[in-house]
Chains A and B, each alone.
Chain A
Amino acid sequence: MIARQFVSYLLIFCFVAFLPVQNATAHGGVVEEDDLCVIKVNYLRAHFKVYQPSAAGHEQYCEDLPVAAESIFVMEYQHDSLSTMPIDFRIIRDVTGKGRFARIEDVDAIDDLEDATVYYQPPVVEPHIYTVNYEFLEEGGFIGIVSATHPETGKIYAAVFPFEVGFTGLGYWPFIIGLLLLIQFQYLLMSGRLRRWFGKEPVVAASLLVCVLLVTPAAFAESPIVTYTTPDGTPVINHMHSWILHIKDENGLGIEGAIVDVDGGMPEHNHGLPTKPRVTAELGGGDYRLEGMRFHMSGYWEIVVTITTDSGKSTVTIPIRL
């Protein structure tokens, strides 16, 4: 009984977690995932959010907007290829009569799209992030249409998201429907009709584990030891300087011929280094010259050194407090 309850909850969890994803892949749109609002332009994803800075300051919305006001739509790409695609953005009055169930087919069926259009941003390549600003003059139902054109194949990917401006709380409907579906699922499971799921879970878990083990890259048996010296003297804030990295194996022997990559930042401030330092010369005996180092604040920094050799890859973090 307890096992069945567990599986029933697991199923509910899977159901809740994957339902919106499947919905969205069927027709590109805006969905909420893990408290994050995501727009799916076919398989291309972007973090989606809308602001009404003049009316609501930094308040963030996903789709529905409380008032007719200046509205800024932001897409932060989660998929690099969007950075190279011309993207256009259209907002139309909802003339489909389908409300929040409008899909791309409904938009395609509109006779005079231009007539319904209240805002159109022609295709433009915007690296990293895409923003438009439109001031809604009236409340009502609207549909957003985002199209991205693949630069090589010319294929057009689209997302359609109906939303309301001046909405009054209809947004609870999906939640109620979801709850009803969950209750139905619970019933099906507890009544034993989904017992066939038993026995599948361990197999799935085992294959996942094998998968993870297979894709984990080869690693050093022991982490290398990385120390550094600063030939220009103690690092001074806001001055570019160089380091010598001393990279040794667990027996204290210098590791030669390694590819050494350096990154870092201030974990407490959630930002990286002000520069992009790199190893410019191998000096022999496991010594490497690292140029372009600069710190722009005092505080706790971490320098992350990634060492790749024939025998594997290892990452060593050097903590520094300035």
Chain B
Amino acid sequence: MRVRSHKLVLAAGLIALISVACGQLSSSPPAWTVAEVEVLRSLWLDSLSDLPADRSNAVADNPVAAGFGRQLFFDARLSANGGISCATCHQAERGFTDGLQKAQAIGTTARHTPSIVGAAYSPWQFWDGRRDSQWAQALAPLEDPNEHAIDRGQVVALVAEDADYRASYESLFGALPDLPISDPLALNMAFANIGKSIAAFERTIMPTASRFDAYVEAVVNNDIDHQATLFSDDEVWGLRLFIGEANCTQCHNGPLLTNHEFHNTGVISFPGDVPDKARIAGVAEVMESEFSCRSSYSDDPDHYCPELDFARTGLDLIGAFKTPSLRNLENTEPFMHKGQLATIAEVLVHYNQAPDAMIGHNEAKPLGLSDRELGQLEAFLATLASAPSF
């Protein structure tokens, strides 16, 4: 009898403990502090500054160029087999990615298709920043044997021989030289102009306000009732982790949730590949690139190129890839530079563990978050879903 009563007391105590613990876990998050509200405001899409001017591209903000560029972007004639356009890999319905680990066009490319949403805000293009403008970026896949696999002569000829394209081109840039163009500088200039038109379209591909942005608006307005209708407790806890303990905003900061910089986060190599050197090779390439800000194909007479002038080099950049935006991750898996991680849950586990990098040094440190906390982070990230506009 005495034994039984002890057991009863023990059981009651356990139940009390468990209920306290559960109460703790499911309790409502505390109100945001003034400092936290400022952090949230900094991530809000409304805080996004005006599109930075591209001094190297005179038609960057020209609607005619954007319309011409849009046609080119979706035109599969710009490829060796007539079946590959920019949109083959940059699919709007997948957040301008393709759902594959490595991109598949004429061949298989070296890396995963990055999203191009909001890319006009980045000083660097590609995962390793090997181009310094959107127009220079747009030219590279056209001539890549694994992507469009054509050459600049074919690109310019296509534009010259299509009456609509020729009219658009000539209204923007003046008369096209007669075909075939024997002067390489004239050919390069025409090729660069076509890239500038594609870039003018790509500049218009922008993220749109998500449920997260509505929530921040409610926070900024101190509208607590509205906050509760927009975010579940788990999503709020996830957001707290995102701007706090999980250290996400060290790199994923600003309204686009990226700092546009390069970081080694110790992602495992792709099967069959050696570890990717990334930015340390990319920065060497951009300095020498044919269509850089410093080239004669830039429209800036001053050749003002602070990004190139002050670009960082050095061993820190081994294995460092550009921070991608976290806006609208929905339907954009797999993730990382070669699509090594299939889901957001896998990405979160990776950052929670922060393993040693195979080459260079992993800048991230292990987080020690629980599975429940990782789930809350994942729930928060889903609130950033919102189809891009273009």
Contacts and interface: CB of A to CB of B under 8 A. Distances in A.
Interface centre among B280, B312, B314 (most CB of A within 10 A): B312
Contacts of A58: 266, 268, 355-356, 358
Interface in B301-341: 306-307, 309-316, 318
B261 interface: yes
A274 interface: yes
A297 B251 contact: yes
Interface stretch (B151-159, B225-233, B271-279): B271-279
A58 B263 CA distance: 18
Nearest 7 A-B pairs (CB), nearest first? A292-B310, A58-B355, A131-B274, A296-B259, A296-B261, A275-B310, A274-B261
Contacts of A270: 361, 363
Contacts of B359: 74, 76, 129, 131
Interface string A246-286: 00000000000000000001000111111111100000000
B254 A276 contact: no
B112 to A, nearest CB: 17
Contacts of B81: none
A132 B274 contact: yes
A272 B318 contact: no
B81 to A, nearest CB: 30
Interface stretch (A36-44, A49-57, A162-170, A211-219): A49-57
A72 interface: yes
A277 B253 CA distance: 22
Given A74-B358, A296-B259, A240 B307 contact: yes
B272 A70 contact: yes
20 contacts: A53-B358, A58-B268, A58-B355, A74-B358, A127-B281, A129-B280, A237-B253, A238-B254, A271-B263, A271-B363, A272-B312, A272-B316, A275-B311, A276-B312, A276-B313, A291-B306, A292-B310, A296-B253, A296-B261, A298-B250
Interface of B: 249-251, 253-254, 259-263, 266, 268-269, 271-275, 277, 280-281, 284, 306-307, 309-316, 318, 355-356, 358-361, 363
A90 interface: no
Nearest to A291: B310
Contacts of A132: 274
A51 B280 CA distance: 21
B361 to A, nearest CB: 6
Contacts, number: 104
A128 interface: yes
- Most A CB atoms within 10 A — which of B249, B259, B314? B259
Interface string A113-145: 000000000000001110111000000000000
Most-contacted residue by chain B among A54, A58, A131 (CB, 10 A): A58
Contacts of A291: 306, 309-310
Nearest to A268: B365
B259 A297 contact: yes
Contacts of A128: 277, 280, 315, 318
B350 to A, nearest CB: 10
A60 interface: yes
Contacts of A275: 310-312
Contacts of B272: 70, 133
A277 B306 CA distance: 10
A4 B310 CA distance: 58
**Residue among B253, B261, B266, B313 with max Cβ neighbours from chain A (10 Å):** B261
A128 B318 CA distance: 8
Interface in A4-18: none
Given A297-B253, A298-B249, A269 B363 contact: yes
A299 interface: yes
A235 to B, nearest CB: 14
Interface string A275-313: 111100000000000011010111100000000000000
